Structure 1
Amino acid sequence: MQRWIELEGVVNMRDLGGLPTSDGREVQPRRLIRSDNLQDLSPGSVAHLVDELRVTDVVDLRSNIEHEVTGEGPLRSSGLRHHHHSLIIEDADQRRTVEAALAFSFEDDEQPRAKPVRDADFWSRHYTGYITTRPDSLVAALDVISRSAGGTIVHCAAGKDRTGTVVALALDVAGVPQEEIVADYVLSAERIEAIIGRLVDVEPYRRTLPSHTIDEQRPRAEAMTGVLGWVRREHGDTAGWLRAQGWTAQDVERLRSRLVD
């Protein structure tokens, strides 16, 4: 099936439906959709998502800074349920104002410092950091997917890193083989120039993106392989990780069933 969803206002939206599972089933279409930032959706795009694809829930993984600076977006007035679950550790401190967080995050941008090498190992550690520092938000995002009456859109800014981590964990619970999960993650590389082009001049991304090359942002298979490998070494699989966070076997089955039944 056609995975890409071509709509005005996004460049990295696709349906996870059609991915095979290890037991011979497949992820059902219109259950889980991944995307880049939804702020530029046209009225026609909103209508398509709501009326044609039957989306009922949106999981917004952007930070408090992004959420405040870029605004609510056109889907907010469409009647969908919105769930904001930042994966940034600083956002766990709800006492910090957006203004203070923005200043803290970028105050030393002009100071000379060693620039990290943003290779596959860097991104793998980065994604694993979401799991170890914000398990609350990851669990909450997966819970939304499991309880949605219709389709769920999971998005961040680019739709590849934070979104990629949540989607990978969801697909792992559904029983999608690792190579298929990794292949889906890497698909965002096909749109990387367009993804960065949407964000590079937009606040707050313009503060850091111009200093990163396209190649540094390009998804590589080894990055997601490393994350899934960490989950398996530490917990057996994502279901084991979820049980360590307090989920029951019934909770895990609810997520699996929502995606494949």
Structure 2
Amino acid sequence: MTLTQAPTIDLSAPVNLRDLGGTPVADGVIATGFALRSDDLATITEDAADALVTEGLRSVIDLRSRDEVFITGRGPLLDRVVNYHHVPLMATIGSATTPHRDLAAVAAAAPLRTMNDMPSMHDLYVSRFETAPGALVSALAIMAHSPGATAFHCAAGKDRTGVLAAALLLALGADDETIIADYRATYPNLEAIMTRTGSYMHHVMALAGFDLQAYQNSTDDPDERLAKDQASMADTLATLRARYGDPLTPLYEAGLSTALIDALRERAVIA
């Protein structure tokens, strides 16, 4: 697989968008209209953008890498009165394992690496807590101080979005079972997510040096792979607790404060 030109982006409605309202946390539940987690909001339709703004969306936290933002831009929300915050949890997708290579270097490389060279989701999630805690704290601060609803997203709304959702729920006092249940709620949407992002994710992954098509065509047992993937958040929380006691310790060391958590709770939690 080689790269030639930027892909055509097909706009479509989100398929993994959900309001965290009603999620149980310490001393109450999250208020509806406080935080939305989603798949890519840069590639939504004009109608979907209008609906989100009408329903109260005022801020977007984009967790994607610079490569992804370069390929898709900000989309229809650019033309709405919505505050945009680019808070990448990794500089590039390729930086999860190796330093970034530019488009020309990737296009000249043959063959692309297989997805098996990527770290496990569990390792990736733990590494976001440990190598990007400042970004997670910044995202929490945006949610604590932004009016209206804040949506946060990556491409699929599963991995980087799941890490930020876990950090938010931990800060609000949710138990591990609640965090894991929220994470697993994405799985029924995976096929729709792959369909929606298919017009450009192969290009994004190739830019990072990985062959997504080879991974999708893998002869690995899909049920075994799915079961391992679904355990990723539970394994992440267990690893963080084993290393630190409190899984938010890396965030505390990066500036997460009692005052910020109080501000989050004041905006987010209702009895």
TM class, shorter-length: 0.7 to 0.9
CA distance, structure 2, for counterparts of residue 232 and residue 225 of structure 1: 11
Task: Classify 1:42/1:112 alpha carbon distance in 2 versus 1 (closer, same or farther; 3 Å).
Answer: closer
Q: Which moved more, 1:138-147 or 1:149-158?
A: 138-147
Retained in 1: the 8 A contact 2:134–2:255? no
Task: Classify 1:112/1:131 alpha carbon distance in 2 versus 1 (closer, same or farther; 3 Å).
Answer: closer
CA displacement, residues 59-101 of structure 1 (integer Å, 9 cap, x when unaligned):
001100000111121111101110001111459x9xxxx9x54
Q: 2:22 aligns with which of 18, 22, 36?
A: 18
User: What is residue 180 of structure 2 aligned with on the other side?
Assistant: 182
CA distance, structure 1, for counterparts of residue 205 and residue 251 of structure 2: 36
Q: Is 1:211 aligned to 2:221, yes or no?
A: no
- Counting matched residue pairs gives 243
TM-superposed CA distance for 1:103, in Å, is: 4.7
Retained in 2: the 8 A contact 1:189–1:219? no
SS in structure 1 at match of 2:199: coil
Retained in 2: the 8 A contact 1:183–1:221? no
Unaligned runs of 5+ in 1: 1-7
CA displacement, residues 202-245 of structure 1 (integer Å, 9 cap, x when unaligned):
15336333222394578844200122223323343355443221
Task: Classify 1:41/1:200 alpha carbon distance in 2 versus 1 (closer, same or farther; 3 Å).
Answer: closer
Q: Is 1:129 aligned to 2:127, yes or no?
A: yes
Task: Classify 1:115/1:47 alpha carbon distance in 2 versus 1 (closer, same or farther; 3 Å).
Answer: closer
Q: What are the within-5 Å matches in structure 2 for residues 26-37 of structure 1?
A: 26-37=29-40
Retained in 1: the 8 A contact 2:60–2:151? yes
Q: Is 1:253 aligned to 2:253, yes or no?
A: no
CA distance, structure 2, for counterparts of residue 181 and residue 138 of structure 1: 16
User: What is residue 60 of structure 1 aligned with on the other side?
Assistant: 62
TM-superposed CA distance for 1:39, in Å, is: 2.8
The residue identity in structure 1 corresponding to 2:90 is I
The residue identity in structure 2 corresponding to 1:250 is A
Retained in 2: the 8 A contact 1:186–1:219? no
Scaled by the length of structure 2, what TM-score is found? 0.79
Q: What are the within-5 Å matches in structure 2 for residues 148-159 of structure 1?
A: 148-159=146-157
Q: What are the within-5 Å matches in structure 2 for residues 104-143 of structure 1?
A: 108=109, 110=111, 115-116=116-117, 122-143=120-141
The residue identity in structure 2 corresponding to 1:125 is D
- Structure 1 vs Structure 2: percent identity of aligned residues? 31
CA distance, structure 1, for counterparts of residue 262 and residue 243 of structure 2: 21
CA displacement, residues 18-65 of structure 1 (integer Å, 9 cap, x when unaligned):
111243x1111111101111133222211211112x111100011000
TM-superposed CA distance for 1:15, in Å, is: 0.8
Task: Classify 1:72/1:217 alpha carbon distance in 2 versus 1 (closer, same or farther; 3 Å).
Answer: farther
RMSD of aligned C-alpha atoms? 2.8
The residue identity in structure 2 corresponding to 1:58 is V
More relative contact order in 1 or in 2 (CA 8 Å, sep 6+)? Answer: 2
Retained in 1: the 8 A contact 2:43–2:72? no
User: What is residue 4 of structure 1 aligned with on the other side?
Assistant: none
Q: Which moved more, 1:227-236 or 1:9-18?
A: 227-236
The residue identity in structure 1 corresponding to 2:215 is H
Retained in 2: the 8 A contact 1:13–1:36? yes
TM-superposed CA distance for 1:147, in Å, is: 1.1
Task: Classify 1:56/1:131 alpha carbon distance in 2 versus 1 (closer, same or farther; 3 Å).
Answer: same
CA distance, structure 2, for counterparts of residue 108 and residue 255 of structure 1: 46
User: What is residue 5 of structure 1 aligned with on the other side?
Assistant: none
Retained in 1: the 8 A contact 2:129–2:250? no
Q: 1:172 aligns with which of 164, 170, 173?
A: 170
Scaled by the length of structure 1, what TM-score is found? 0.82
Retained in 2: the 8 A contact 1:185–1:219? no
